[in-house]
């Protein structure tokens, strides 16, 4: 496949995905209008525009938008990792193609040298020259030379054919990797567009609130997290959890907790900011245990364990789509990077819906 065909295919794919994105783009639900003062959920302070019930609806909308942005962030991060991998493969293949071309040129030079040598001997092949020899000693020496020459010629042809086959394979692989690279770039662009749209929609919802209402909204978020954590602890889920961190787990926890206070930025891997899986992957890299970059890949590829068996350093994966991750630090708590507008912080491990637990150093 030539470069122009690859580019045309990639452009076609970009246009198709852009059309799908434009027709399926999620939009934020409108902020509910302030409740009438006669409502049972009306605020105690008549100067407040929104009741707690109104703000609770806003909170749920914002949470949904940020969760969708988190899932899109995972898609972006995975596509970015795949793009880096494909770029590296293309560089390796390009070098192999250059080396192969140089090897073929050298082999052709050797073949040319053999042809010139034959020309200098009167154009007769070694077998014919041997048949014309009347000297028995020269005849025996000639037999060995003929055999050596035949083996060298056979080896030269075999090596030339193999190098040409390898070069064709490298070229085909390079074309395939180029197509994958372009496809991953399209995925990145699509995910980035969705992330920005979801975050802007959430920020727009929150921007319509006055400062006191935003403070109340933040308190509602904390209250919802506290209720979920209390229910989780009351269920006895961590009653028998008493595992101690491994050496690597302790190092990962130390790194992660040292990042507390740094802001969430989607796609960030530090050192100044992190998204959720950027924090956990960097923490385990600091513990000299590289793990997958995204929460979904961490859930898919790392060994899973029961909650009762977890220990500090293990990763808790959240939501049905594995779109969020935090690191368990003990005593029913995690350190995580929550979402845009928030900083790396400690939180209750049960404050969100748990999908499962994985252990990077099992």
Domain locations in the chain as residue ranges: 3-22+51-207, 211-358
3-state secondary structure (DSSP) of residue 264: strand
Those residues whose C-beta lies under 8 Å from the C-beta of residue 117, and which sit 6 or more positions away, are none
96-102: which pairs have CB atoms within 8 A and are 24 or more residues apart?
Answer: 96/166, 96/170, 97/167, 97/170, 97/171, 97/174, 100/163, 100/166, 100/167, 100/170, 101/167
| DSSP class per residue in 13-77 | HHHHHHHHHHHH---PPPPPPPPPTTSTT--SSTT-SS-HHHHHHHHHHHHHHHHHHHHHHHHHH
Average pLDDT over residues 81-86: 76
- Per-residue pLDDT for 41 more than 90? no
Q: H or E stretch including 282?
A: helix 276-286
Structure confidence by residue, pLDDT tens digits, 155-212: 767 777 777 777 777 777 777 767 777 777 777 778 778 878 888 888 888 888 888 8
pLDDT at 257 (0 to 100): 98
- Please state, in angstroms and rounded to a whole number, the distance separating the CA atoms of residues 161 and 167: 10
Q: Which of 71-80, 158-167, 223-232, 263-272 has the lowest mean pLDDT?
A: 158-167
Query: Are the beta carbons of 222 and 303 closer than 8 angstroms?
Result: no
- Please state, in angstroms and rounded to a whole number, the distance separating the CA atoms of residues 156 and 129: 22
Topology agreement, domain 3-22+51-207 and domain 211-358: no
- Per-residue pLDDT for 312 more than 80? yes
- Please state, in angstroms and rounded to a whole number, the distance separating the CA atoms of residues 219 and 222: 5
State the catalytic residues. Answer: 276, 324, 336
Those residues whose C-beta lies under 8 Å from the C-beta of residue 301, and which sit 6 or more positions away, are 292
pLDDT at 75 (0 to 100): 78
- For the entire predicted model, the pTM comes to 0.59
Angle formed by the axes of helices 52-120 and 136-207, nearest 10°: 160
- Using DSSP, how many helices (H) and how many strands (E) does the chain show? 8, 6
% of the chain residues with pLDDT over 90: 34
Query: Are the beta carbons of 318 and 324 closer than 8 angstroms?
Result: yes
Q: Which CATH architecture has domain 211-358?
A: Alpha-Beta Complex (3.90)
Average pLDDT over residues 120-139: 53
Q: How confident is the model at residue 265 (pLDDT cuts 50, 70, 90)?
A: very high
- Please state, in angstroms and rounded to a whole number, the distance separating the CA atoms of residues 323 and 334: 16
- Please state, in angstroms and rounded to a whole number, the distance separating the CA atoms of residues 297 and 299: 5
CATH 3.30.310 fits 3-22+51-207, yes or no: no
């Amino acid at each position: 496949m030539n470069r122009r065909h690859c580019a045309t295919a990639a452009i076609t794919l970009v246009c198709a995905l852009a059309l799908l994105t434009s027709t399926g783009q999620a939009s934020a639900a409108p902020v509910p209008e302030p409740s009438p003062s006669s409502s049972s959920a009306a605020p105690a302070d008549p100067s407040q525009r929104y009741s707690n019930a109104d703000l609770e609806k806003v909170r749920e909308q914002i949470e949904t938008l940020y969760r969708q942005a988190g899932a899109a962030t995972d898609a972006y991060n995975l596509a970015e990792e795949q793009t880096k991998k494909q770029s590296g493969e293309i560089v390796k293949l390009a070098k192999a193609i250059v080396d192969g071309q140089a090897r073929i040129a050298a082999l052709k030079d050797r073949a040319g040298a053999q042809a010139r040598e034959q020309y200098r001997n009167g154009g007769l092949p070694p077998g014919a020259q041997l048949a014309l020899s009347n000297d028995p000693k020269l005849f025996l020496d000639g037999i060995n030379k003929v055999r050596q020459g035949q083996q060298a010629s056979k080896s030269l042809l075999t090596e030339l054919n193999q190098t040409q086959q390898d070069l064709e394979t490298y070229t085909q692989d390079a074309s395939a990797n180029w197509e994958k690279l372009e496809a991953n770039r399209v995925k990145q662009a699509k995910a980035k567009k969705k992330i920005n749209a979801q975050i802007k929609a959430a920020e727009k919802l929150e921007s319509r609130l006055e400062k006191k209402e935003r403070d109340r909204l933040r308190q509602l978020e904390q209250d919802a997290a506290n209720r979920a954590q209390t229910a989780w602890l009351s269920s006895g889920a961590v009653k028998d959890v008493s595992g101690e961190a491994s050496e690597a787990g302790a190092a990962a926890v130390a790194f992660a907790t040292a990042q507390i206070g740094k802001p969430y930025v989607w796609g960030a891997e530090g050192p100044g900011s992190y998204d959720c899986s950027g924090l956990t992957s960097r923490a385990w890299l600091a513990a000299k245990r590289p793990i997958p970059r995204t929460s979904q890949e961490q859930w898919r590829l790392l060994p899973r364990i029961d909650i009762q068996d977890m220990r500090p350093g293990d990763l808790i994966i959240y939501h049905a789509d594995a779109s969020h991750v935090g690191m368990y630090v003990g005593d029913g708590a995690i350190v995580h990077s929550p979402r845009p507008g928030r900083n790396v912080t400690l939180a209750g491990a049960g404050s969100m819906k748990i999908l499962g637990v994985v252990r990077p150093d099992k």
